[in-house]
Amino acid sequence: MASSCGCWVRDFLCSSIGRKTVMAATGLALFGFIVGHLAGNLQAFIPDHGATMKQYADMLHSKPALLWGARIGLLVLLLVHVVTAVSLAIANRAARPVPYQAKAWREASYASRTMMVSGPLILFYVVYHLLHFTTGHAHPDFQAGDPYRNLVIGFSNPLVAIVYIAAMAMLTAHLAHGLWSVAQTLGINHPKYTATLRRLSVLIALLIGAGYISVPVAVLARILK
Amino acid sequence: MKITLHVWRQKGPSDAGRMATYHHEAHADMSFLEMLDTLNEGLTLKGEEPVAFDSDCREGICGMCGIVINGIPHGPRKSTTTCQLHMREFKDGDHITLEPFRAAAFPIVRDLAVDRAAFDRVIQDGGFVSVNTGSCQDANCIPVPKKASDLAMDAAQCIGCGACVASCPNASAMLFVSAKVSHLGLLPQGQPERGDRALRMVHRMDAEGFGNCTNTRECEASCPKDIGVEFIARMNRDFTLSSALERQEKAGGGGG
Amino acid sequence: MELKSNIPSGPMDQKWEKHRFDLKLVNPANKRKYTVLVVGTGLAGASAAASLAELGYNVKVFCFQDSPRRAHSIAAQGGINAAKNYCNDGDSVHRLFYDTVKGGDYRAREANVHRLAEISVSIIDQCVAQGVPFAREYGGLLANRSFGGTQVSRTFYARGQTGQQLLLGAYQAMMRQVGLGKVQLLPRTEMLDLVLVNGAARGVVTRHLVTGKLEVHTGDAVCLATGGYGNVFFLSTNAKGSNVTAAWRAARRGALFANPCFTQIHPTCIPVSGDHQSKLTLMSESLRNDGRIWVPTKNGDTRSPSSIPEAERDYYLERRYPSFGNLVPRDVASRAAKSACDEGRGVGPGGKGVYLDFGDAVQRLGQKAIAEKYGNLFDMYQRITDENPYKVPMRIYPAIHYTMGGLWVDYNLMSNIPGLYVLGEANFSDHGANRLGASALMQGLADGYFIIPYTIGDYLAKTKLDKVAPDHAECNRVKQDVSERLQKLMAGKGKRTVDSIHRELGKLLWDKCGMARNAAGLKEALGKLPDLREEFWKNVTIPGSGESFNQSLERAGRVADFLEFAEVLLTDAHDRNESCGGHFREEYQSPEGEAQRDDVNFAHVAAWEYRGPGEKPVLHKEPLTFEIVHPTQRSYK
């Protein structure tokens, strides 16, 4: 019998499918955050010059235990997602040491083949994003407690907006494959609904991407000011 | 028809290997391997070493042949093994690139021939029902729902060619392993060992150095027998559930 | 030499049971002291290796492919017979026995065939327990179909891939034993000679095909399960690698080769398309259940089939054999196709083909129903020929498919060399002069699962076998022989490729010793054979070296053996002055063109002793007696 150390958790987490399951589970949780974050962002469109948004921010900051709990939780999820991805990628690279001279693809989508590109790029962007809108270190005129103002000023710089839009395009691609991939890895696949699930995965990713991108576009179009 | 072949030549596992180019005259009614046969006849008469490639039944069932043709295992025609591919799929003046199935778990024997013994070792670790010869009841004492039997057959059709591994961006063997896990897992005969089988076969697959599945579905598209990734999902379920639920075997020992 | 068939006494239906009791047993604790060498991993080899290992013997198993799962049994499409009578249509062990003896044109041993029919039932049980996904009815029970001219539905099948599924079952059982350490697997290893010590088979010399290394493996008995010799004809439905080498090497060491002239032609193959053709593809015989075979009534009619009116079509099988029609046995259907083509009524390129027309069936059942039944076969046909068989009738022509002849074995499947067992297609035993459809899988598995485990124990228990080490003087001598032969092959730097000579041999045999044979043609072929052999050894060229993966060298060794073996094949065909089963001698036919047996002079097994190239092999006869199924003229009218 192949490798087994007797501890089922370790066996599971060392196995290919175990690590994939970890990727799926953390991915799904992070997706939940992405949806919640989007809901927060879309408050910008409430025409009250950011009053609702500010209220929401104040509410979050008023419960530091909850806020920091969530932040630490997210960080751990992200770390596990990233570390597992790296370990899988290393194994995948080792599994084909000599590449093909010519390789063509029949089915594999661009998004599915570039998860290890879109993923790291999103990660880099997240770091910048935190310095930009959370700590303010990368923001020209940061004012703690007024997210709407920070957002409008931040995105008024077209370069910043374009970088943001590009990052959200990456996120869209990542989700378009990732969402269906979560289902597949967790064993959800049946001819009755798999095709729908795959289309739904792309649709949700596009909606989320559009939602995020709508904010900087609105700022540039001077709809939000 | 005149074609130009770019063929991977490699003397053995330790040789670095390189691409070589051959200009060749082929006929549209030839199978792809007959085209290579005629290339080899020519090389032999010139005193050069022929291009090594594996093939046996040449009717698409033994799984011995397998060449990556223009970047796709078994070539451009879907649901077709290399031996069943015909030259009419190509046209005069085409450049055709021929490479071996590339994966760390499939060391190259020579040129386009690889060693797929890793697959046998995966089967050896659980791809069976543990029944000894002779100890069976009448065949019709085990009713099997037709749909389960048909689905099991869909999985059991796997010819073990390795195209799934060759096509996968990660050289993963999930489709091959899941086909056997599902074939036996779908049948009543396979139930007693179902959980343990999934565990053992997946652990062996990992130990053989295959990559991981990133759900690109390239394997499904390259499988000459159209085996689907549905079976991979099935194996994921079996593996995860039995990782969590399977009990450790107790050392029992027979009674007096 | 007296051939002792060792058929047990007693009534036919009790022989095997009685024999099993009479066979000596090896103590369970002693089994692990014995090593059995199994060459070949097809149905017979894999099932034998698994079953012997389950009993406790140590087994070493060899195959030339990269994996044991590739053996050519995998290509069998149609099904496997068993006398289960699940269809309640009057089948029984006795009927399967009767059909097989009759179908074999009364040239098989009754006792062997009866045993096969008895065991057939257990094979299905065994395979189902292993998880072979046989076709099922909606109620969950096994489905059966009628196959290859039988009038009962006794054929079990797994779509068009029955051989594949049965082989994978046996392969998996064997791999389980590999995992348990009872079977040692040696793939890409070709047996090149047999080692005899004190007259008994004790080892094999093998060449590792990747490194070229010669090795000696010794054991207490050797089982050859190395398949048939159909590739002596170059073009056949056999896999490219199928060869006679293991059996022929044993024959050179004294094993008798029985009935080599009994070769089976399969009537439904895709016709040859050109000189580049490397093999022929079989279309399952089940196609004849719904397809109608015809040729134009006029000679040289080159109109497209759709423009030939009904009145100008000759449905010759339905005309000549009204009760069996398109479902006559293989040999009859093949010869009828040949005679239609010989009359100049053949269709397609070169006039070497007849139509297999699904037009009526599509009209009657609809294209969907036909696609459900034969979809994969139709796809395969279209892939190869680029013609759509739903619209244009298929073109088919007979091709060499199976060889009933093989090494002579007794009732215990042991050859005349003690300790050398021969299983499956490699032996001559159960099909007589013609094999019925869906019987090859049955025989391979019967030999491996249910016969050899008993009979080999008897030999091991009764025989005193001293240990033979791989460096035993006799092993070294045989290894030296092999090495010299390989060097001689590699020394050739002539102008011919191995395949070109193989093609020439194949054409000679197909022309003179194919579907129909006559004394003059056979004599002529026997005359040409020594020249071809000389041409091979003088003028063949093999690039590369013997110490590496060298596929030209592999093929050369096999062709060299075919060139020697062909002499025995031709001699047998020449000396068997009768027509029976797959052996049709033009001199011996009824006025209507039916085969005429000669039961007075040829009701025997012809076992040939090889005496060296160019020397006439020596004939040993084992008379055949028929207690139950009395020979009659086969009639399918």
Q: What's chain C's Rg over C-alpha atoms?
A: 24
Query: CA C582 → CA B2, B90, C76, C264, C596, distances in Å?
Result: 43, 40, 19, 5, 12
Q: How confident is the model at residue A5, as a pLDDT?
A: 58
* pLDDT recorded at residue C380: 87
Nearest 5°: CA angle at C409, between C622 and C175? Answer: 165
- Count of B-C CB contacts under 8 Å: 232
Domain ranges for chain B = 2-110, 116-255
Q: What is the structure's pLDDT at B251?
A: 64
* Domain at C266-400, CATH class: alpha beta
Q: How far is the C-alpha of C287 from the C-alpha of C355, rounded, in Å?
A: 12
- Asked whether the beta carbons of residue B240 and residue A3 sit closer than 8 angstroms, the reply is no
Which of A10, A17, A23, A90 to probe by mutation at the B interface, max B CB count within 10 Å? A17
Domain ranges for chain C, please list them. 266-400, 477-602
Return the SS3 of B112: coil
How close C312 gets to chain B, by Cα (Å)? 30
Instruction: State which residues of chain C have pLDDT below 50.
Output: none
Interface test with A, best of B122, B193, B236, B245 (most A CBs within 10 A): B236
Q: Which amino acid is at C369?
A: A
| pLDDT at residue B256 in the model | 46
Largest CA distance in chain B: 77
Model confidence band, residue A7 (pLDDT cutoffs 50, 70, 90): confident
pLDDT at B253: 53
The answer to whether residues C113 and C97 touch, using CB atoms and an 8 Å cutoff, is: yes
The domain defined by C477-602 folds into: Methane Monooxygenase Hydroxylase; Chain G, domain 1 (1.20.58)
pLDDT at A6 over 70: no
ipTM: 0.97
What distance lies between CA C48 and its chain's CA centroid?
Answer: 17
- Average pLDDT across chain B, whole number: 95
> Which residues in chain B touch residue C86, judged by CB atoms under 8 angstroms apart?
140
CA–CA separation, A90 and A110 (whole Å): 20
Shortest distance, CA A77 to any CA of chain B (angstroms): 19
Alpha-carbon span C229 to C236, nearest angstrom: 10
Active site residue C330: yes
Our CA-based measurement puts residue B238 at a distance from the nearest CA of chain A, in whole angstroms, of: 8
How is A189-209 classified by DSSP, letter by letter? --TTTHHHHHHHHHHHHHHHH
User: Which is catalytic among the residues C330, C345, C517, C555?
Assistant: C330
Domain boundaries along the sequence of chain A: 12-220
Instruction: Identify the band that residue A1 occupies on the pLDDT scale cut at 50, 70 and 90.
Output: very low
Question: Which secondary-structure segment (H or E) carries C406?
Answer: strand C406-407
Distance (Å, rounded) from C-alpha C124 to C-alpha C207?
A: 36
**Percent of chain A topping pLDDT 90:** 95
B residues 21..60 contacting A (CB < 8 A): none
Look at residue B165 and tell me whether its pLDDT is greater than 80.
yes
Among residues 225-254 of chain B, which lie with CB inside 8 Å of chain A? Answer: 229-230, 232-237, 239-240, 243-244, 246
Nearest-angstrom CA–CA distance, A222 and A214 = 12
The pLDDT score that the predictor gives to residue A2 is: 42
Q: What is the pLDDT of residues C232-255, one digit of tens each?
A: 999 999 999 999 999 999 999 999
CATH 1.20.1300 holds for A12-220 = yes
* Facing residue for B55 by CB, picked from C128, C240, C544: C240
Q: Superfamily assignment of B2-110 in CATH?
A: Beta-grasp domain (3.10.20.30)
Judge: C549–B12 Cβ closer than 8 Å, yes or no: yes
> Could you say which architecture CATH assigns to the domain B116-255?
Orthogonal Bundle (1.10)
